[in-house]
């Protein structure tokens, strides 16, 4: 029994040290994120955007929209994309083996007709059945193809894209009107930028007007409110901080802008992983380093993309299971970057962080709960360590959540009502009472499914938020 007690006490010390280091890193990223947002808020005004247009200082963009059974929201999503404020862009929707009325809804809404196009099939993809163009919107192209998965659909769209920049957007997501212009300015200013991620925020709960967000409000369901905090922390502290360090490894699949030539040069999206968004970014970094050239991957706080987040527990668990498997698939594919000086900050800081503080975190967190429970039962619980663990795991998380929400107030699009801010404050405390533990268990479960379920997505239930007008 004494040996067990000694092991439990030792593990308690390890856990407190582990989460202390993790939270110090979170604080550092939060500081970098705050500086990044403050700098951006000063530099990027509406006047600056107008100046870009007047000087023709922009690059044309192909918006790529992979869709699988998205009949509930596809028309609203495409209309929002067609209404973007950008002088030169096209929208390519890829219906990836849809078994519902996705193509029919698009045909009816945009008067699609079949066309014959000659293009270079540089990237392999599942067979294309037909290509349709809108009679009402000349910059809208719809590709109806056999099912091959999201990455396969994006590769098909990349083959057809006409412009030097491509913007990958999920079919259940809506871009703010000036999102493309805000995103593409960095490509015009810096030739070394090969990829850019904007901020992705939950659409659930927002007041809609004609396919655009009229007012940002907190969702009604707690499961959705918790995700508002997660997204806020991830983008305004985590990714903004990594971008500032020059070691950003993830651009959300919901909204990312890339130089088409760079993506084609590395072979497009890999179809053997569910983490195709992260894997592509890592590969862009890796190939540039191996070839001895500069390649910047950056994140900017404001272009904004709104996306529908899961509103039921089953869909949420499937999503987080997929994210965790995608993370490990990418880490294992590029394990040669771990602690490799050749890749600079990426190899010495970025990749190790994702191995030890993202990939392995579910193991330590779940074992931590078990260890503290056993310690309490056997009398080996160290009260000081228990309090420190509670502070690091709960109260510090609340502080980081509020820091991220505070950073959000510097942007144009924010939660304006005090009621919504109070709701998010309450959610910051409540998410640690079961929600976080449940997701940690799901992420732990996913780690044992990486090989067995490789490339397996699973469906997410859609409620169609954003369809129609004045929805809340």
Neighbours of 355 (CB within 10 A): 17
Q: What is the CATH number of the domain that holds 330?
A: 3.90.550
Task: Compute how many other C-beta atoms are within 10 angstroms of the C-beta atom of residue 112.
Answer: 24
Determine the pLDDT at residue 43: 59
DSSP 336: G
Stretch 192-209: mean pLDDT, rounded?
A: 87
Residue 375 DSSP SS3: helix
Both tokens of 250, joined, read 């993830």
Q: What is the DSSP letter of 446?
A: H
Residue 163 has pLDDT above 80, yes or no: yes
Dist. CA 405–CA 43, nearest whole Å: 21
Q: Which residue has the higher pLDDT, 216 or 109?
A: 109
Domain assignment present for residue 74? The answer is no
Q: Please state, rounded to an integer, the average pLDDT across all residues of the chain.
A: 85
Residue 150 within a domain: no
Which ranges of 145-275 does DSSP label H, i.e. alpha helix?
A: 150-160, 179-189, 222-233, 240-245, 260-265
Residue 147: what pLDDT?
95
Does the structure show a pLDDT above 70 at 54? no
**Residue 179 has what pLDDT?**
85
- Look at residue 211 and tell me if it is in a domain: yes
The pLDDT, as a whole number, for residue 462 is 58
The arithmetic mean of pLDDT across residues 130-142, rounded, is: 96
7 with 211: CB under 8 angstroms?
Answer: no
Joined together, the tokens standing for residue 439 give 């997701």
Whether the pLDDT of residue 467 is over 60: the answer is: no
**422 band by pLDDT with thresholds 50, 70 and 90:** confident
Residue 169 has pLDDT above 70, yes or no: yes
Distance of CA 268 to the CA centre of its chain: 18
Whether 191 is in a domain gets the answer yes
Q: Please report the pLDDT score of residue 223 as a whole number.
A: 95
Q: Do the domain assignments include residue 102?
A: no
Average pLDDT over residues 183-211: 85
Instruction: Measure the CA–CA gap between 13 and 11, rounded to whole angstroms.
Output: 5
- Whole-angstrom Cα distance, residue 202 to residue 70? 17
Neighbours of 135 (CB within 10 A): 11
Of all helices (H) and strands (E), which one includes residue 437? helix 435-447
Q: Tell me, what's the pLDDT at 210? A: 64
Answer whether residue 305 shows pLDDT above 90. no
Whether residue 395 is contained in a domain is answered as no
Tell me the per-residue pLDDT of 351-403, one tens digit each, with 9 for 90 and over: 999 999 999 999 988 888 888 888 888 888 888 877 887 777 667 777 777 77
pLDDT at 51 over 70: no
Tokens of 216: 């940002």
Please state the rounded mean pLDDT for residues 406-434.
77
* Nearest C-alpha neighbor of 445 from the set 317, 279, 355, 312: 317
Average pLDDT on 288-300 reads 92
Query: Higher pLDDT residue, 215 or 115?
Result: 115
What lies within 8 Å, CB to CB, of 69 at 6+ separation is 98, 99, 100, 102, 459
Q: Number of helices (H) and strands (E) in the chain: give both, helices first.
A: 18, 12
- Which of 168, 255, 173, 254 is CA-nearest to residue 212? 173
CA 96 to CA 143: how far, in whole Å? 8
What is the percent of the chain where pLDDT is above 90?
Answer: 46
Percent of the chain with pLDDT over 70: 88
What confidence tier does 458 reach under pLDDT thresholds 50, 70, 90? low
- pLDDT of 459: 59
pLDDT reading at 22 higher than 90: no
Residue 472 clears pLDDT 50, i.e. is over it: no
Tokens of 85: 């404020």
- Count Cβ atoms below 10 Å from residue 412 Cβ, excluding itself: 12
Is 53 a residue whose pLDDT tops 60? no
Query: How high is the pLDDT of residue 464?
Result: 54
Question: What span, in angstroms and rounded, lies between the C-alpha atoms of 73 and 172?
Answer: 6
pLDDT confidence band for 58 (50 / 70 / 90) = confident
The Cα–Cα gap between 97 and 398 comes to 43
Q: Is residue 324 part of a domain?
A: yes
Q: Are strands 165-169 and 255-259 parallel, antiparallel or unpaired?
A: antiparallel
Can you tell me whether residue 428 is helix, strand or coil? Answer: helix
Asked if the model's pLDDT at residue 60 lies above 90, the reply is yes
Q: Would the pLDDT of 342 be above 90?
A: yes
Rounded CA gap, 232 and 224, in Å? 12
Q: What is the DSSP letter of 342?
A: G
Q: Which pLDDT score, from 0 to 100, does residue 218 have?
A: 87
CB 196 within 8 A of CB 221: no
Record the tokens describing residue 239, joined without a space: 């990714």
Quick one: average pLDDT of 175-188? 84
Least Cα distance to 198 among 230, 218, 176 occurs for 176
136 C-beta neighbours (distance < 10 Å), count:
10
Number of domains, the chain: 1
Going by pLDDT thresholds of 50, 70 and 90, the confidence category of residue 308 is confident
Q: How far apart (Å, rounded) are the C-alpha atoms in residues 465 and 452?
A: 33
Where in the sequence is the domain holding 26, given as residue range(s)?
21-59+164-356
Query: Is residue 77, in this structure, part of any structural domain at all?
Result: no
- Per-position DSSP letters for 60-123, written without gaps between them: -EEEEEEESS-TTTHHHHHHHHHT---SSEEEEEEEES--SSHHHHHHHHHTEEEE-------S
């Amino acid at each position: 029994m004494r040996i067990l007690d000694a092991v439990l006490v030792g593990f308690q010390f390890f856990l407190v040290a582990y989460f202390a280091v993790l939270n110090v890193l979170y604080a550092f990223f939060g500081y970098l994120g705050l500086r990044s947002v403050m700098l951006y808020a000063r530099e990027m005004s509406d006047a600056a955007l107008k100046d870009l247009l007047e000087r023709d200082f922009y690059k044309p963009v192909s918006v790529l929209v992979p869709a699988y059974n998205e009949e509930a929201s596809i028309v609203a999503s495409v209309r929002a994309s067609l209404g973007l404020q950008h002088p030169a862009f096209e929208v390519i929707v890829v219906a990836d083996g849809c078994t519902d009325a996705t193509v029919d809804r698009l045909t009816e809404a945009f008067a699609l007709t079949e066309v014959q196009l000659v293009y270079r099939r540089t990237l392999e993809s599942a067979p294309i059945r037909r290509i349709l163009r809108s009679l009402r919107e000349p910059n809208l192209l719809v590709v109806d193809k056999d099912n091959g998965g999201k990455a396969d659909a994006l590769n098909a769209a990349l083959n057809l894209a006409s412009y030097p920049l491509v913007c990958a957007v999920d079919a259940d997501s809506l871009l703010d009107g000036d999102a493309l212009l805000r995103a593409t300015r960095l490509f015009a200013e810096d030739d070394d930028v090969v990829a850019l991620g904007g901020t992705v925020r939950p659409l659930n709960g927002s007041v809609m007007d004609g396919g655009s967000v009229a007012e940002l409000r907190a969702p009604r369901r707690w499961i959705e409110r918790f995700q508002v905090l997660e997204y806020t922390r991830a983008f305004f502290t985590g990714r903004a901080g990594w971008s500032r360090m020059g070691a950003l490894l993830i651009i959300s699949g919901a909204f990312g802008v890339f130089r088409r030539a760079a993506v084609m040069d590395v072979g497009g999206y890999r179809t053997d992983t569910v983490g195709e968004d992260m894997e592509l970014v890592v590969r862009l970094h890796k190939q540039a380093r191996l070839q001895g050239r500069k390649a910047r991957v950056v994140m900017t706080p404001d272009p904004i993309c709104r996306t529908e987040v899961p509103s039921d527990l089953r869909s949420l668990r499937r999503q987080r299971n997929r994210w965790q498997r995608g993370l490990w698939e990418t880490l294992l594919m590029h394990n040669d970057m771990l602690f490799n000086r050749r890749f600079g900050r990426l190899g010495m800081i970025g990749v190790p962080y994702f191995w030890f503080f993202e990939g392995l975190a579910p193991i330590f967190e779940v074992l931590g709960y078990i260890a503290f429970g056993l310690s309490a039962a056997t009398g080996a619980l160290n009260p000081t360590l228990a309090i420190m663990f509670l502070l690091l795991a709960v109260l510090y998380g609340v502080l980081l959540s509020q820091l991220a929400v505070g950073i959000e107030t510097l942007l144009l699009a924010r939660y304006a009502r005090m009621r919504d801010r109070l709701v998010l404050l309450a959610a910051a405390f409540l998410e640690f009472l079961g929600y976080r533990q449940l997701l940690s268990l799901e992420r732990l479960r996913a780690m044992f499914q990486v090989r067995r379920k490789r490339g397996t997505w699973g469906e997410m239930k859609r409620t169609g938020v954003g369809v129609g007008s004045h929805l809340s």
